[in-house]
Structure 1
């Protein structure tokens, strides 16, 4: 993706700065899951403290509003009681190591982009006719941060399809 950026374009410079920051400061979880998902998976299914820390850190980093403690613990509990930390880690691993993504989708596509700014649309090439909604608020966990907005956008996307 970075090689598509024009070093003289101000928007591309901003995108590159954010990519560099992510690479150097925020990509540790991704590096672990992309290279050793089973190792972190063992920890996530063996230690409730690690499971809580793994998810709570992401809530702290990837939300703009405080998330209710009961909602956080419910989310962590779902991972803990289903032992799905391993499968979640493997999802990122499989994405990182896939070479055949198949044919482009033929079904309607939709994006609800939270914490959107001018960089997002440039980075995600959406085919013509794609449902695209940008929200300036909420972040990585819109179902927890902006559930009404997410539900309304899902209704808007699916209503012409029913």
Structure 2
């Protein structure tokens, strides 16, 4: 009897480990085509759920060449929304986070907010917004895999992605999970 239980436990453990390995392989291989066009040899760097209070807001995934993020190389940040949000509020929150990073040029922040409001739609549970920092330091935005616009401003690109990736981020645990450090 003991041997049968032990064998069942070993089988369950083996199946569990196999599923874990399979899920990691699927995650590693599931880089969207629109990301690989801008980020050569894109692989997942890290992934984490952003939660506000008690609500899951989005699942964030960072992609970089060979899975090694560098701020001066192309990369992509994909946000899989878990709840509906107003696009204008997404833009406003982005500007608020940029201020927290130390950007104080209100005219520039206002200009960037207008551009983001024009690009970011209202999102529903299941929608995906992906921002790509391109080789020439522009920002491309994809909604559910479709390119919706580009902001060709190195300073915007830096400020926007710093919301998640800067050491000054308001969400250091999220940053750590995305960068795997």
Whether these two folds match at TM > 0.5 is no
TM-score (norm 1): 0.30
Q: Which has the larger radius of gyration?
A: 2
> Structure with the greater relative contact order (CA < 8 A, sep ≥ 6): 1 or 2?
1
